[in-house]
């Protein structure tokens, strides 16, 4: 468990991300990230999975500008998640290792379901 948080901290330090920036990528509050880093709390199962995905995403990020992109992508996904099929969700989550492919697929789904980007 703490190995996961150590990995998260390492990525945060390498990308010079704050707990607030990291929380936006994970999809939780910055206070949760802060408590995890301070070892006051441990992420539950769902957040552990979200942290794992965030670490993969953070490894591909090169600038803080991509944080804003990640926020927009997350907002778009929230709009789409009730509209897209289970298969489309699975296909989307298989692309988390390739951020540009993920963004392209998200954009394609937004057009398909007539959802604003």
Q: Where are the domains of the chain?
A: 1-61, 62-117
Band of the pLDDT at 83, cuts 50, 70, 90? very high
Mean pLDDT of 27-56: 93
pLDDT of 63 reads 56
User: Contact, 80 vs 109, CB < 8 A?
Assistant: yes
CB atoms within 10 A of CB 45: 7
Please compute, for residue 76, the number of CA atoms within 13 A of its CA located in the half-sphere on the CB side.
24
User: Contact, 4 vs 45, CB < 8 A?
Assistant: no
Report whether CATH 1.10.260.40 matches the domain 1-61: yes
Mean pLDDT of 86-102: 81
User: Contact, 115 vs 83, CB < 8 A?
Assistant: yes
Both tokens of residue 86? 């289970």
Query: What pTM, to 2 d.p., does this model score?
Result: 0.56
Mean pLDDT of 64-83: 80
């Amino acid at each position: 468990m703490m190995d996961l948080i150590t990995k998260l901290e390492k990525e945060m330090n390498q990308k010079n991300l704050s707990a607030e920036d990291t929380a936006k990528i994970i999809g939780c509050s910055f206070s949760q990230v802060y408590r995890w880093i301070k070892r006051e709390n441990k992420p539950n199962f769902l957040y552990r999975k979200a942290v794992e995905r965030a670490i993969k995403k953070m490894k591909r990020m090169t600038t803080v500008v991509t944080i804003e992109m990640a926020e927009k992508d997350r907002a778009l996904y929230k709009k789409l998640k009730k509209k897209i099929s289970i298969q489309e969700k699975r296909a989307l989550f298989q692309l988390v290792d390739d951020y540009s492919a993920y963004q392209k697929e998200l954009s394609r789904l937004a057009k398909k379901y007539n959802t604003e980007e």
